[in-house]
Structure 1
């Protein structure tokens, strides 16, 4: 089988990683020939972005029980071959559209770190034919608990927006590290400042000194708080590090002008959007290893993890990897970007989701 109609229901109120996955799934399936409808909360970030991508579908003020009649009416109108649910109240509400192939997504931090109660997990899956997860670590966890098949499909990234810019890479003059993401304690900036300070101490004097750039808007840490953290580690802004507390245009070019991308998070990172974006821009990774980050290192050229290392050993490894990365050629970057595109593009995500849905429609979930 090929093609069909998919209906994505996502009640997420925020522009979170799960919202990103839902939107990417919709775009990926459409690229693979599916007709896709997207229904989110009215005027939520997900709904607004769906409209910007020209994804049709009625929105919901909420996904409470009073919306069950509207859900049934839309289901009759859309006549979907598959409904994808993203774990909020829409997942319960979907019980009221029987005789429909329903797939539930799971991909939160607690799905990796918390104990999964078998009975509750199975009850929440009773009306679904399969579970969709963004990483193999979750596939392995859930397939030992639920009776339905579990499919792992990595997030797909728009390779028309994120790709290697050789001219930006050619402009890099100092070995450059970048951290991209909101300013939040979970992102691990403070711990990484300590590691970076040791890198500066270890760095050979006959080489250009490394430079760290952090890009992100304040969330649970303000830009001023982050600057104080850096000062506490004797880092001097403008000399060996810089903060850009803003949204950055032409982000693919900025990423390409990076020798080594750092994902220093202390938790979360189950969906790994930023890691994949850097890889599509040809940039190797230096990751903390939380969540499913190490699954992004499936190609030997994709980078290194410092999970479980002391700060001193992590600094030693980073010193080595940053220098290696700074000596790479344009062709090495291009090869990495192409390898990443084969794994993490919207096109690849669409093919894998289609394989899953076709198998479920045919009644052969293990195909």
Structure 2
């Protein structure tokens, strides 16, 4: 490995350390509603400088083949680890990785880089850019004959069309992806395909087909021993039965999920169960005391994870229960708590929701 490759590897190792610190940065900033301590601002500045140096290094000339491939894989992994922590950095890492593997001519890594960047753009809501990267990755996987890569790109493209409410296009891509995954006997990916097909049929209000695929996903996850994934699907099944106004079955499947989450100490899963059950008790069965208890349980868990937007949502939901109970003072108190958090986070959709609910109480 030449000096240049050693420098690059050194820079990437430093960035790896920052990726670990970045996770702490995320939790601190969310807990304090985006107040950033000076040390984190300094870390972020250093990080940007290192990224800029790396980008210049890759732009000026290529890197040695062996060191370059290893560095590209490290950069892709870094980009993916930053995806939910610091999306801007994730995109920068992804672009640097793409630049490096483009210079090396390694089509497999180029395809992986394109798909990874496409997923990051997807999470950022930049769906056109996401689709552009996914299409590029798909072509490269087709050239190399990587069937798993092709199936993965088709699956992610389907999720983009799902976001655009182009459900027929989404279903077509998901079915193509499923066909490839079945030919590869990739059981976990097959289960994911079933889940995504179920979700898309749910969005189309085709609840029978949604249930069909959800139950297939449950069987697959059960065979794989993936209990919490199975519980996630049980929640979806419960939501379908709620839409069908079969509240007894909805609660039954939510209870299945709750039992699994309890066995695995999956707190965020439990919070989703509590929220969904509370919604049924609040809006469909008029069992307000039970709804209130469940929303408060969910709120307690959300606070443990310091997620302001979800805490705000729970306050809003508790406000609706008090409104339904004609306890208007308590309702407004909860709505104001929710509103304050949404204002601090600049969440316009959240503010609109709270204002609408406050208007109903008035």
- Per the shorter chain, which TM-score range? under 0.3
Report which of the two has the higher share of strand: 1
TM-score using structure 1 length: 0.27
Report which of the two has the higher share of helix: 2
TM-score using structure 2 length: 0.27
Structure with bigger RCO (C-alpha 8 Å, 6+ apart): 1
- From the CA coordinates, give the structure whose radius of gyration is larger: 2
